[in-house]
Structure 1
Amino acid sequence: MADTEGCADREAGPSGGLALRVSGLTVRSPRGRVLLSLPSLELPGGTLLGVRGPSGAGKSTLLHALAGLSAVAEGTVRWGDTDLSRLDAEGRARFRADQIGMIFQDFLLFDELSAQDNAALPALFRPRAERAGLRARAAARLVGLGLSDTARSVASYSGGERQRVAIARALAAGAPVLLADEPTASLDRAAADRLIADLTGMARAAGTTLVAVSHDERLIARMDRVLTLADGAPVTGAQAA
């Protein structure tokens, strides 16, 4: 498989998630400035990709484009057999709900709800027949991430605990793709290291395709491949190391 310039290989991960193929991806600002230019990127299903680079390099822009959240994106983003560029906004939203789990830097939890209820939120948007199974998976993910007292409100949780709830929510739906934006940014080193081990371990065990944007070199070191961005473009050669 041809590699993208600026994308360094690690040992290949297990296959099981959706394969990704990006071609001629360009994202512009409302005024026309190029925010991201990625000529090509191919990932087998189940690959763990780390995306690194300085602030303003285009990392979050790439993550939004991969999720189909950039209405001004040009080019092709194909997950498996689905080309996001051929879908309208409603179609992209349905694809995200069915195929992509997302972990946000600010967690996006509801403080008035328990950890269990937050982790099981995707069940609200699934057919009735699927809801019990999703709630059960959410409970299992919380336990697997070391959270036991999941009936209390997340308002009393630490930053590390809140991020684990967010990860459990993203994994509960069994989506084949997981996109994470700076998942360890608000955590101390010990909590970040525990979360890195849990996140990468669960992704590998499930064969999930994981794309994680991060400044955390310890997280980047656990990825199968690394894409380095600067000024909205891949960094090539020795500069990407």
Structure 2
Amino acid sequence: MLAAAPTAARPAARAPEPGGAALSVRGLTVEAGGRRLVSLPALDLSPGATLAVTGPSGAGKSTLLFALAGLIPASGGRIDWGGEEITALRGAARADWRRRQLGIIFQDHQLFDEMSALDNAALGAAYAPRAERAALRDGAAHWLERLGLGDKLAQRALSLSGGERQRVSIARALAADPPILLADEPTASLDRASADRLIADLAGLAGTRTLVAVTHDAALVARLGRRLEIRDGAPAGGLADA
């Protein structure tokens, strides 16, 4: 569960620049095995906006999210984040863009079991320029402490509960204070009280990061304010107020 930020010991993570990054999607399609998984004609978000992506299981919500992250290649169309067309980036250039601009909260955690909670949360430091590594590790420690894992920094991920593993994933996504945060069912492994505290934290990021969250959690949908419903890989109408 979320705990109060520490008053000493470790420096707080640096404050993110205001604004986040604008999102523009045009004619996006994702196909696999001859089947169209996602079809999104258009989507625009202003910098610092928050959006909940909802819909039934298997509707294509996570596929859309991973396409927005550049983790799944688009079959057609374009995605622009902050004026940069990520659908035109390849290989190392796309990976570098993700490192600089994006934090991702995975539903299945994506942790290394034999690594400590802190090493997992600070994993991005291994790929960052040397001058950024200490700040990134401090940011990871800050978020682990804030998420109630300050006493488990050295504990192996294998020994953590499902909810604790999810909190490590969240700390990793926020460690570098990215302008873009994408979340796949971020509250799914948390009890209600912990989920509500996380929702308050995510809602508090509005205006400083652009946040897109796939979720079935009605409380998170309500706090994010805007909703895009996906059915059979396509929008069921336009953006709506939650």
Task: Return the offset for 1:238.
Answer: 11
SS in 1 for 2:182: strand
RMSD: 2.2
Spell out, residue by residue over 1:106-145, the C-alpha distance to the aligned partner (whole angstroms, 9 max, x if none): 1111222222111111100011111111111111122222
Partner of 1:178: 181
Structural mapping, 1:66-145, within 5 Å: 66-145=68-147
CA, structure 1 residues 97+160, in 2 after alignment: closer, same or farther (shift >3 Å)? same
Partner of 1:230: 231
Unmatched 5+ stretches in structure 1: 1-13
Task: Return the offset for 1:97.
Answer: 1.6
Q: Percent of counterpart pairs with the same letter?
A: 59
Of the structure 1 ranges 110-119 and 168-177, higher mean CA displacement relative to structure 2 is found in 110-119
**TM-score with structure 1 setting the length:** 0.86
Residue 190 (structure 2) pairs with residue 187 (structure 1) = yes
Spell out, residue by residue over 1:39-65, the C-alpha distance to the aligned partner (whole angstroms, 9 max, x if none): 111101111110000112110111111
The answer to whether the 8 Å contact 2:70/2:86 transfers is yes
Partner of 1:161: 164
Structure 1 CA distance for aligned equivalents of residues 211 and 171 of structure 2: 14
Spell out, residue by residue over 1:26-48, the C-alpha distance to the aligned partner (whole angstroms, 9 max, x if none): 111231x2211111111011111
Spell out, residue by residue over 1:172-222, the C-alpha distance to the aligned partner (whole angstroms, 9 max, x if none): 112111111111223332332232223333x23x71111100111111111
Task: Return the offset for 1:67.
Answer: 0.9
The answer to whether the 8 Å contact 1:50/1:214 transfers is yes
The answer to whether the 8 Å contact 1:36/1:61 transfers is yes
Partner of 1:22: 25
Task: Return the offset for 1:240.
Answer: 9.2
1:160 partner letter: G
CA, structure 1 residues 118+237, in 2 after alignment: closer, same or farther (shift >3 Å)? closer
Structure 1 CA distance for aligned equivalents of residues 239 and 103 of structure 2: 33
The answer to whether the 8 Å contact 1:178/1:210 transfers is yes
1:140 partner letter: H
CA, structure 1 residues 221+174, in 2 after alignment: closer, same or farther (shift >3 Å)? same
**TM-score with structure 2 setting the length:** 0.85
Of the structure 1 ranges 169-178 and 230-239, higher mean CA displacement relative to structure 2 is found in 230-239
144, 151, 154: which is aligned to 1:151? 154
CA, structure 1 residues 27+240, in 2 after alignment: closer, same or farther (shift >3 Å)? farther
Unmatched 5+ stretches in structure 2: 1-16
44, 47, 55: which is aligned to 1:45? 47
Count residues with an aligned counterpart. 225
1:20 partner letter: L
SS in 1 for 2:150: coil
The answer to whether the 8 Å contact 1:105/1:181 transfers is yes
